[in-house]
Amino acid sequence: MNNKKANSKRSILITGAGGFIGGHLVKYFLKQGVKRIRAVDIKPLAEWYQLDERAQNLNLDLRDLANCRVAVEGVDEVYNLAADMGGMGFIETHKALCMLNVLINTHLLLAAKEAAVKRYFYASSACVYALDKQKNADITGLKESDAYPANPEDGYGWEKLFAERMCRHFSEDFALETRAARFHNVYGPHGAYDGGREKAPAAIIRKVVAAKMSGKHEIEIWGDGLQSRTFMYIDDCVKGIDLIMHSDIKEPINLGRSELVTVNELVSLVEDIAGLKLRRTYKLDAPKGVRGRSSDNTLIKMHLNWEPSISLREGMKKTYEWIEGEMRKGGDE
């Protein structure tokens, strides 16, 4: 990472800035001393998860090339986190909308090339990994090479894999420095916890808080609870984005924790944080994704001498406290 004096001269664009990760990334770079930040999202400003007036905040639909040209004007670096997406309940039932995200990356790359942007970061996903390598809950970590031969998650995973390749070829053909990180289940405060786009950690916390507030000590779990994942706290994610962007890592790389847990274990952890035990029922026909997914961090440790390190308990406790506070303010049950 650069020092604050150097950061004060940088001009950066963060797309998807009204979303969960994008909002945290704006805050992170402001704290790093970056003075010129253009924050862009398709959502009206009133609907952004976080809004900081120190940034230039714009409401633009980046599926349109003309809007991408407006967004990249005068910036040195682009951080593309814009996507129409959500948790498994969303991406399994909105495959066409997920595929249409290709318009954002395509037009943003074209605009970045035209504007002679120095560096371009693309937020990819662990959903690019071949499905036949994710059939067991006790999975070993997925290596970056496991994305090929290609057989990613339908819809969202295919779009992410295609977008990675497009970044690669813009680097090869037009000398645009691109970086891509494959996110593994990012969670934390200031994100969706209801409405259908929330991911597993936030959904489980919401259900536990609702059970606590209502006195109905029961919880419905999607699947049989034995499916496994690794989860990365948002502070590790934004630091990793910065480190990867300013590294010499040319190929897409994992950005995730290697601490594998089952959904049942995640529920038990949240119960422990909340101080209660719940009766569990299992919705076996609900969207549940692959059986197991874990991040192999060999390459990121080799390149950066760093990997995400915030423990699941620490991160989930902070996330629980934020969601519980929001639900109590709103009177949610």
Alpha-carbon distance of 124 to 181, in angstroms, equals 5
The CA distances from residue 49 to 43, 160, 248, 331, in Å, are: 10, 24, 32, 19
Which residue is associated with the tokens 């010499």? 248
Residue 139: CB atoms within 10 A of its CB come to: 19
Q: Give me the torsion for CA of 15, 181, 184, 128, rounded to 10°.
A: 100
User: What tokens does 106 get?
Assistant: 């395509």
Tell how far CA 207 is from the center of its chain: 21
Catalytic (active site) residue 156: yes
Coil vs helix vs strand at 326: helix
Q: Which two tokens stand for residue 156?
A: 């969202």
User: Which residue among the candidates 129, 156, 193, 320 is catalytic per the annotation?
Assistant: 156
* Cβ count within 10 A of residue 44: 9
Residues with active-site annotation: 156
